[in-house]
Amino acid sequence: MPLVQITMLSGRTVEQKRKLAQRITDVMVEEARAQREAVVVTFQEVSKESYASGGVLIADKK
């Protein structure tokens, strides 16, 4: 069972996540020969206050 975990800032719509899940699953089926029903995609959403890049919180970046 392939498990693809996506960590991203919160704010995407359900439709955006739906499309991402479909396209990621398609790639796993096409490129990794995974069974479509076995592909699991999870979305871990974090706030700008809980995510840092380069030692700086995203909330503090302009």
> Would you please indicate which residues are annotated as catalytic (active-site) residues?
2
Residues in the chain: 62
- Tell me the longest C-alpha to C-alpha distance in the chain: 42
